[in-house]
Amino acid sequence: MTHLQDSPQPGHRPATGAREGRPRKVAAFFDLDKTIIATSSTAAFSKPFYAGGLISRGDVLRSAYAHFLYMVGGADADQTERMRSHLSALVTGWDVRTVSQIVEETLHEYIDPVVYAEAVELIVSHHDRGHDVVIVSASGSEVVEPIAAVLGADHYVATRMEIVEGRYTGDIDFYAYGENKAVAIRELAETHGYDLDASYAYSDSITDAPMLGAVGHGFAVNPDRTLRRLAGESGWGTLTFTRPVTLRTQLSPPRTAAVVGGAVVLAVVGWLVWRAARRRSGGGTDR
């Protein structure tokens, strides 16, 4: 798996594929929070961060309140900027290795139960068609990278905090938000030869309009009224995700139909996890 290492520079949408006789490559770009998972990935780790001594009880409560606002009504640009400033100040001085270790050890406990089955099925479908899957998230890379690995993503884009001597300084090297997501997508297209006109993007947030507009096939996931209106005006599709699943759930034996339906979903999820492990140990992704 690769990560966009350098801050992307603005550029025009490339007409990749047909140019210079190169084979046409297609990518599917997925937002993470409330698109693949039914929550905020950063807020999901507030409890283990508290247990690990990184944040106080007050920080946990503030995180829970911000998460409530986010889940109920999303976040506009001003709210997002306030949250970004708060988080930047909060993580100043944190040991990066400790953060990565906490995320690694608690990933399955806090992320597994909230993955949308519909998103998993889409990821599998895109891989089956030979498409690259790219996770594009405003959350920090230490959170996004292991989630992307479990999902079998080929690449990811995430916010990068400045690190000096193994600790966060509180400054941000690259903020994967708004127009920056679209810029990062265009840079990845230049690097990997993606035909953006043939590519796909999925997000729940109006702030990801530039990302949805950067490809030929944009999809608004569980859109609110504003995003639904923009999707209609822009010719984007709309999708409804309603089935968060636990990746390691053991099925109980209720009605046969429910068991069969659940088994299909879990089989898809289990296959995806197997494929992710195979891609990491064998080929297809590069770190």
Active site residue 154: no
CA–chain centroid gap for 241, Å, is 15
Residue from 6, 33, 76, 286 carrying the catalytic annotation = 33
List, as one string, the DSSP characters of 74-89: ---HHHHHHHHHHHHH
As a whole number of angstroms, the distance between CA 85 and CA 103 comes to 22
Tell me the H-state helices in the chain.
41-44, 46-51, 57-73, 77-91, 96-110, 117-128, 141-151, 179-192, 209-213, 225-234, 256-281
As a whole number of angstroms, the distance between CA 212 and CA 199 comes to 10
Residues 6+ apart with CB under 8 A from 110: 44, 45, 47, 48
Indicate the SS3 state at residue 209: helix
Contact assessment for residue 269 and residue 120, using Cβ atoms and an 8 Å cutoff? yes
Indicate the SS3 state at residue 117: helix
Please list, residue by residue across 206-232, b when 16 or more beta carbons sit within 10 angstroms of its beta carbon and e when fewer do: bbbbbbbbbbebbbbbbbeeebeebbe
Active site residue 6: no
Indicate the SS3 state at residue 252: coil
Rg from Cα positions in the chain: 19
Active site residues: 31, 33
